Chain A
Amino acid sequence: MDGRRESRREALKAIGLVTVLAAVPRHALGQMAGAAAPGIQWNAAAFNAQTVDDALKALGAGTPTPTTDVSWGTTPEIAENGAVVPVSVTSKIPGTEAIAILIEKNPNKLAANFSFPQGTVPALSTRVKMSESSMVHALVKTKDNKYFLASREIKVTLGGCGG
């Protein structure tokens, strides 16, 4: 009798586990940006990171120094459409080599990473998707491997995740 109850419990546990496992891959698939196409440089670990800290770690940034030496140009404070949020970033930090854009409340935190060889202005404009209002970070990497983080809140009226 006891044995049967035990096995029933085991069975239920197993069913529960199966349900969880069935749920996980779909979730993971949805979250994972995946692997890089062959022959290109693409930091999969950073792009698949689920937290800002993990993304920073994968970018080699550790704990970046907060900075205000980044101008956000025409980046709006309130974006009407989360599917198309214009982002414009200019770094005033000398020796800027790369700028990464991270969106705190997106499923994958790292949106883009731009690098600027010598002679290129450390500035860019692009458009990104935001699932909801969020802090947006610009991570600046300098030639001597120092990292700086500038942050700004962008409010989104209509999220960019749906259809």
Chain B
Amino acid sequence: MPDPMRIRATIHDDQATVRVLMSHEMETGQRKDAAGTVIPAHFIQSVVATHNGRPVFRAEWGPAVSKNPYLQFQFGGAKVGDKIQITWVDNKGETRTDEVVIR
């Protein structure tokens, strides 16, 4: 099971700002190990964020996103106590979903 994400959601007026830090190698498939063998690509391909179940943000990623990816986005119509859920899926089909309540 991959490590949990760190999600922070703050609210200003009715606009929520969400900051996410994911824990992932984001291996490009370009690097070689000491023996010269190519290290296979392993990276997050899809990120979906929902606000009380409604999709508010979606991302498709290639291997050029940095290791332990950081993401920030904003959406309207949010209030304190609302739930934000974020799911990522990587190219090996591993996935992780975490949830946070806006405060």
**Chain A residues within 8 Å of B, Cβ to Cβ:** 26, 29-43, 47, 83-86, 88, 103, 106-108, 110-117, 119-121, 123-130, 160-163
What total count of A-B pairs have CB within 8 Å? Answer: 134
20 residue pairs from A and B, CB less than 8 Å apart: A33-B41, A33-B43, A33-B63, A34-B29, A37-B45, A37-B92, A41-B60, A86-B70, A108-B64, A111-B65, A112-B60, A117-B54, A120-B57, A120-B75, A124-B59, A124-B73, A126-B69, A129-B26, A129-B64, A163-B31
Chain A residue numbers with a CB within 8 Å of B61 are: 111-112
- Interface flags, B46-64, vs A, CB<8A=1, else 0: 1000000011111111111
8 Å CB contact of B59 from A85, A112, A117: A112
Q: How far is the CB of B81 from chain A (nearest CB, A)?
A: 18
Distance from A27 Cβ to chain B, minimum over Cβ atoms (Å): 10
- Chain A residue nearest to B77 in the complex (CB): A119
Residue of A nearest to B29 (CB): A30
Distance (whole angstroms) from the CB of B33 to the closest CB of chain A: 9
The CA of A55 and the CA of B103, in the complex, are separated in Å by 40
Is B71 on the interface with A (CB-CB < 8 A)?
yes
How many Å lie between the Cα of A163 and that of B62 in the bound state?
A: 19
CB distance A161 to B30 under 8 Å?
A: yes
Taking the closest CB of chain B, its distance from the CB of A76, in whole angstroms, is 14
The interface size of chain B toward A, counting residues with CB under 8 Å, comes to: 39
Q: Which of B38, B54, B56, B66 contacts A127 (CB 8 A)?
A: B66
The interface residues of chain A lying within 8 Å CB-to-CB of B65 are: 111-112, 126-129
| A42→B67 contact, CB < 8 A | no
Report yes or no: A40 in contact with B38, Cβ–Cβ below 8 A.
Answer: no
